[in-house]
Amino acid sequence: MTVTGQDTKALDTEALRALRGLEDGRSSVRLRAALAVGTAPDPRFVATLVERCAIEPEFFVRDMLTWALTRHPVALTLPELLRELRSERAQARSQALHTLSKIGDRRAWPAITGALLSDPEVEVARSAWRAAVILVPEGEEAALATVLATQLGRGERETQLSLSRALVALGEAIQPALHAAATAADPRTRTHALATTRLLRDPDTGFEFAIEEAKRVVALGGGGPEGQ
C-alpha cells in the first residue's frame, strides 16, 4: 500500500478499511474494497489502485480496480498508468492499457508504441490493440492498420479474433494493409487477412466461418481480398 503514515492519519475509517481490503486474501473482500474506493474516490488512492492492478489475480477484481481508477481525475491517473506501460511485469502493462482504453484520453496515444502492439505477451498485445483503436487520432487509422497487420496470423483463434475486431473497428482505412497481408508468403497471415476482410464486408459473418472460408481460398491458391 503506497499511502504513507501521514496520509493514513487523514483518512477516515471507511477509507482505511477499503485500502486494507484491497490486500485481503479473499477475492470477495478485495472486490468490495475496490467498489468502495471507486464509490468514494480520493487522490491518495490512485497509486495503490495502480499497484494492485499489476498483481491482482482475479479478473473481476481487476475490472473493478479499473472502474475505480476511472472515477479519479485523469490528471492523476494518466501519469501513473503511463509509467506502468514500461513495467517488466506483463500484467501491469496489460491492465494499464486496459484502463487507458476505458479512460479514453487521447493524450495517452503517443505511449501506444509498436513494441506494445507487438508485445511478446499475448494479453499485453491484445490490450494494446484495443487501446490503440480507441485512442488513435483521426487521420492516423491507416498507419495504425499497417502496424496491426504485422500481427496477422499470430496466436490461436481467440487472439486472432481480437486482432480482427480491432482492425474492423478502424473501418475502411484498413483495406490497403489487408490487401498487402492477403498476398504475404505466410499462409496463416493470408488466411487471417482474408477472414478479416470478410468481417469488414459483412460484420454479421461469424469468425469461425470467415476463417474456414479463408483457409479454403488459400488452399486453392487464392490471395488478395478480391480472391474471396
C-alpha torsion angle, residues 94, 99, 102, 104 (rounded to 10): -100
* Low-confidence residues in the chain, pLDDT < 70: 1-12, 14, 222-228
CB contact set of 197 (below 8 Å; sequence gap of 6+) = 175, 178, 182, 225, 228
pLDDT at residue 117, as a whole number: 98
Report the length, in residues, of the chain. Answer: 228
Closest CA to 1 of 15, 17, 19: 19
User: Is the residue at 78 inside a domain?
Assistant: no
Cα(56)–Cα(53) distance, integer angstroms:
5
State pLDDT tens for residues 28-57.
999 999 999 999 898 989 999 999 999 999
Closest CA to 49 of 89, 85, 22, 20: 22
pLDDT at residue 6, as a whole number: 45
User: Is the residue at 30 inside a domain?
Assistant: no
User: Is the residue at 164 inside a domain?
Assistant: yes
User: Is the residue at 224 inside a domain?
Assistant: yes
User: Is the residue at 97 inside a domain?
Assistant: no
User: Is the residue at 181 inside a domain?
Assistant: yes
* Host domain of residue 208: 143-228
Name residue 167's amino acid.
L
CB contact set of 56 (below 8 Å; sequence gap of 6+) = 30, 62, 65, 95
CB contact set of 27 (below 8 Å; sequence gap of 6+) = 57, 58, 60, 61
pLDDT at residue 222, as a whole number: 60
User: Is the residue at 194 inside a domain?
Assistant: yes
How many separate domains does the chain show?
Answer: 1
User: Is the residue at 64 inside a domain?
Assistant: no
Say if CB 108 and CB 100 are below 8 A apart.
yes
State pLDDT tens for residues 208-219.
899 999 999 998
pTM: 0.88
